[in-house]
Amino acid sequence: DTGVSQNPRHKITKRGQNVTFRCDPISEHNRLYWYRQTLGQGPEFLTYFQNEAQLEKSRLLSDRFSAERPKGSFSTLEIQRTEQGDSAMYLCASSTKTGLGGNTIYFGEGSWLTVV
């Protein structure tokens, strides 16, 4: 499968624990995005990387959240001291700029987080 890969797909954790999600983008895609989606809402942007540089962060990304893409390939999203409000699906996406100036963004299947 050459699509965007995310793991774990499901995570149940106790409030206060730390969790980490991993995303492997489509190879040669230099842009990587993290989104969060709760029930009944569309995906909300969290952060964006171009290669290894984190170029944009949403105000939604509190200081408990940190994302890295150390070698410009895979990325991790860590949530420290989880809260029940963090329960959501965390989506990773990747893209590459096309010659026409646009880009198609492809999503992974998401990582479901339940904080109990």
Partner 1 sequence: RKEVEQDPGPFNVPEGATVAFNCTYSNSASQSFFWYRQDCRKEPKLLMSVYSSGNEDGRFTAQLNRASQYISLLIRDSKLSDSATYLCVVKSEYGNKLVFGAGTILRVKS
CB of 67 to partner 1, least distance (A): 14
The nearer residue to partner 1, 21 or 33, going by C-beta atoms, is 33
Phi, psi of 38 (to 5 degrees): -105, 165
State how beta strands 88-95 and 111-115 pair: antiparallel
Contact window for partner 1 (CB under 8 A) among 15-23, 60-68, 75-83, 106-114: 106-114
* Under rule CB under 8 A, residue 27 binds partner 1: no
SS3 86: helix
* Under rule CB under 8 A, residue 67 binds partner 1: no
State how beta strands 53-57 and 65-68 pair: unpaired
* Under rule CB under 8 A, residue 56 binds partner 1: yes
